[in-house]
């Protein structure tokens, strides 16, 4: 998507943090925004503020949606299309931290909650909007929020959170190949950013154990500093316009990714198995043939 002017974007989890900063960047580009969040009151307050920004050149409305509920995702899409007549971009951003606990002490209910929001919520929203974008038949963009943890060093004592973000990377990479040409997709991988995410336990529903105590994340002297949230929105929009798949607003994440990639390459080099014959086992040949056959069938 090269131009957001007069387009319409739906952003989930947009009442705070990264989603809100993306909304600000979009509205400055003349893109109408749907500020969606599990908390309607907060979303409505943000939409009012966005619409009143002196440099706003488009409108903002609020629509409630808990992304763990498929019926609410459908209703979000229905209301967005009914209000604007078209939707051109989805920022699939809602997510929760889930707290810091050693993996063996993680309660299953906590793990399921984090997966419900960060993976199933993300997946279900993505699929619903993909279906509707396909029907609409005009160019559209989906930006899935993953994390630096998807591509690099895992966040400590957040095994469940890391697993959800790896899962978002896994399925988004595949969708990139499956989607029709008119629908582009990107993967936003922020580094540690100052937002409300450490407090997301306060949102945990009763079915998963109810609200959790808020963690004190005030940095102590000598700590690394989280990135300011303002580093994310404008960068993300610019990268989408330039056609990037991986969106990295924070260079610190490069070193985490490199460390992981270097370790993987070193392990392959040390284990030297079928170095002379690996090409004939490259699974991409097989999958590319499957994809080409499926696309040819669709076109016939
Ligand atoms: N902050 C970071 O360091 C960081 C780093 C990498 C990735 N991320 C990702 O960025 C995204 C946004 O997080 P953030 O840091 O801005 O956090 P945030 O807590 O400031 O904002 C997240 C928003 O999502 C909403 N939300 C929570 N559960 C929801 C649900 N079930 N349905 C709809 N909305 C819901 C919250 O109400 C909140 O407004 C998340 O996917 C997060 O995993 C954050």
CATH number for the domain harbouring residue 187: 3.40.50.720
Look at ligand 1, atom 8, and give the residue with the nearest C-alpha. Answer: 147
- Whether the per-residue pLDDT at 292 is higher than 70: the answer is yes
Number of folded domains that form the chain = 1
Residue 219: band (very low, low, confident or very high) from pLDDT cuts 50, 70, 90: low
Closest atom of ligand 1 to 97 CA is 43
> Is 283 a domain residue?
no
Q: Look up the domain containing 153 and give its range.
A: 8-250
Best of 35, 90, 164, 195 for a ligand 1 pocket test (most atoms within 8 Å of beta carbon): 195
Closest CA relative to residue 89, chosen from 41, 126, 52, 43: 126
**Contacts with 132 (C-beta within 8 Å, 6 or more apart), sequence order:** 77, 81, 87
Q: What percent of the chain has pLDDT over 90?
A: 78
Ligand 1, atom 22: closest residue by C-alpha: 13
Dihedral angle over CA of 292, 293, 295, 300, nearest 10:
140
Average pLDDT over residues 182-207: 93
CB count in 10 Å sphere of residue 200: 24
Report residues whose beta carbon is within 6 angstroms of any ligand 1 atom: 12-13, 15-19, 37-39, 65-68, 93-96, 117, 121, 145, 147, 190, 192-193, 195-197, 200, 203
Residue 281 domain-assigned? no
Residue environment code for 12-47, b if the CB has 16+ CB neighbours within 10 A, otherwise e: bbbbbbbbbbbbbbbbbbebbbbbbbbbeebbbebb
Tell me, yes or no, if 161 is annotated catalytic.
Answer: yes
What does the pLDDT read at residue 186? 98
Task: Ligand 1 pocket test: pick from 15, 17, 193 the residue with the most ligand atoms within 8 Å of its Cβ.
Answer: 17
Tell me the two tokens of residue 245: 């798949």
Q: Which residues pair with 10 in a beta bridge?
A: 34, 90
Catalytic residue, chosen from 157, 161, 171, 208, is 161
Q: Using the mean position of ligand 1's atoms as its centre, give its distance from the Cα of residue 117 in Å.
A: 9
Summary mean pLDDT of the chain: 94
- Residue 276 in domain: no
pLDDT digits 0-9 by tens, 144-172: 999 999 998 888 899 999 999 999 999 99
Give a yes or no: residue 1 inside a domain: no
pLDDT of residue 124: 98
Compute, in angstroms, the gap from residue 83 CA to the centroid of ligand 1: 25
**Rounded CA gap, 188 and 142, in Å?**
10
Ligand 1 pocket mutation pick from 21, 40, 95, 172 by most atoms within 8 angstroms of CB: 95
**Regarding predicted confidence, which is higher, 290 or 263?**
263
Torsion, Cα of 123, 128, 129, 133 (10° steps):
130
Specify the ligand 1 atom closest to the Cα of 226.
Answer: 3
* pTM for the model: 0.95
* Domain assignment of residue 264, yes or no: no
- How many angstroms does the Cα of residue 52 sit away from the middle of ligand 1? 24
Q: Is the dihedral of CA 39, 96, 115, 166 positive or negative?
A: positive
Closest Cα partner for 65 from 77, 48, 82, 54? 77
Looking at ligand 1, which atom is closest to the CA of residue 165? 43
Least confident of 104-113, 232-241, 250-259, 289-298: 289-298
Residues 6+ apart with CB under 8 A from 113: 96, 98, 204, 205, 208, 209
> Does residue 253 carry a pLDDT above 70?
yes
**Is 285 inside a domain boundary?**
no
> pLDDT band at residue 98, thresholds of 50, 70 and 90?
confident
Q: How far is CA 153 from CA 57, 147, 219, 273, 287, in A?
A: 39, 10, 20, 26, 29
Assigned domain for 256 exists: no
The mean pLDDT value for 91-102 works out to 94
User: How close is the Cα of 94 to the center of ligand 1, in Å?
Assistant: 5
User: Closest residue (by CA) to atom 43 of ligand 1?
Assistant: 95
CA-nearest residue for atom 25, ligand 1, is 13
Cα(177) to ligand 1 centroid in Å equals 27
- Measured CA to CA, the distance from residue 176 to residue 184 in angstroms comes to 7
Least confident range of 55-64, 76-85, 195-204, 256-265: 195-204
Q: Give, in order, the Cα–Cα distances in Å from 89 to each of 133, 214, 259, 262.
A: 9, 33, 33, 35
Q: How far is 286 from 123, CA to CA, in rounded Å?
A: 26
Backbone φ and ψ of 143, nearest 5°:
-115, 110
In a domain, 18, yes or no: yes
């Amino acid at each position: 998507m090269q131009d957001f002017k007069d387009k319409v974007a739906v952003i989930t989890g947009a009442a705070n943090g990264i989603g809100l900063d993306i909304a600000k960047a979009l509205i400055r580009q003349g893109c109408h925004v749907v500020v969606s969040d599990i908390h309607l009151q907060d979303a409505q307050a943000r939409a009012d503020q966005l619409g009143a920004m002196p440099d706003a050149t488009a409108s903002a409305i609020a629509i409630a949606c808990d992304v763990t509920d498929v019926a609410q995702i459908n209703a979000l899409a229905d209301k967005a299309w009914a209000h604007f007549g078209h939707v051109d971009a989805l920022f699939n951003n809602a997510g929760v931290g889930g707290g810091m606990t050693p993996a063996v002490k993680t309660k299953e209910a906590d793990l399921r909650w984090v997966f419900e929001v960060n993976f199933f919520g993300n997946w279900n929203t993505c699929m619903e909007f993909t279906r509707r974008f396909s029907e609409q038949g005009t160019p559209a963009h989906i930006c899935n929020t993953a994390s630096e943890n998807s591509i690099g060093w895992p966040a400590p004592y957040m095994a469940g959170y890391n697993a959800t973000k790896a899962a978002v990377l896994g399925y988004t990479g595949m969708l990139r190949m499956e989607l029709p040409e008119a629908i582009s997709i990107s993967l936003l991988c922020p580094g540690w950013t100052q937002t409300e995410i450490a407090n997301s336990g306060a949102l945990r529903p009763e079915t998963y154990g109810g609200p959790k105590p808020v963690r004190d994340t005030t940095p102590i002297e000598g700590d690394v500093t989280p990135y300011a949230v303002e580093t994310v929105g404008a960068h993300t929009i610019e990268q989408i316009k330039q056609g990037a798949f991986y969106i990295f607003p924070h260079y610190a994440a490069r070193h985490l990714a490199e460390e992981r990639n270097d370790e993987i390459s070193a392990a392959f080099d040390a284990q030297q198995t079928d170095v002379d014959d690996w090409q004939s086992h490259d699974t991409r040949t097989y999958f590319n043939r499957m994809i080409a056959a499926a696309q040819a069938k669709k076109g016939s």
